[in-house]
Amino acid sequence: MIQEDRRLWKLLLFTIPTFGIYNIYFWYKFTSDLNEINTVDKRIKNYILVLCLSIFTLGIYRWVWFFYLADRLQVTGEHMGMRIKPGPGITLSWRLFGSFLLIGPLVSDYFVIRNMNRLATEYNHQLKKNTKVIQ
């Protein structure tokens, strides 16, 4: 079963006292869960690899990865018969241009987390429905 109750406030609250370690764990688990749901299309890169590549590209790769993450959420939702909004373009726009308002990255993280929770709920529901109980 995939975790359905990810919250932005938990991410923010636990990231500060752990000096960012919880942030790494959160996104690592997030991408592994999305890869478990999304078996049809390309897999999302591991977040630890993303961090390493971001260091070498001065942070640019994380922006590209975030767009790709939002795109995979939308494509996976379409395969499951769900409509995922907002799309990757709007999500990345909040992250890029909303940074000038200081809340843009939080808004884009909220959209991605909310969409993942919706996908996880639907995936778990379909998994329960397709699983037969043997007595």
Which sign does the torsion angle of CA 110, 112, 113, 117 carry?
Answer: positive
pLDDT at 135: 61
pLDDT in tens, 104-119: 999 999 999 999 999 9
Residue 40 pLDDT class (50, 70, 90 cuts): confident
Q: Is the pLDDT of residue 18 over 90?
A: yes
DSSP letter string, 99-112 = GGGT-HHHHHHHHH
Pairwise pLDDT comparison (26 vs 42), residue with the higher score: 26
pTM, entire model: 0.89
Arithmetic mean of pLDDT over the chain: 90
Return the percentage of the chain with pLDDT > 70, whole number: 97
Residue 101 pLDDT class (50, 70, 90 cuts): confident
User: Which amino acid appears at position 90 of this protein?
Assistant: I
Q: Are 76 and 38 in contact (CB under 8 A)?
A: yes
Query: What DSSP element (H or E) covers 115?
Result: helix 104-130
pLDDT in tens, 47-74: 889 999 999 999 899 999 999 999 999 9
User: Which amino acid appears at position 5 of this protein?
Assistant: D
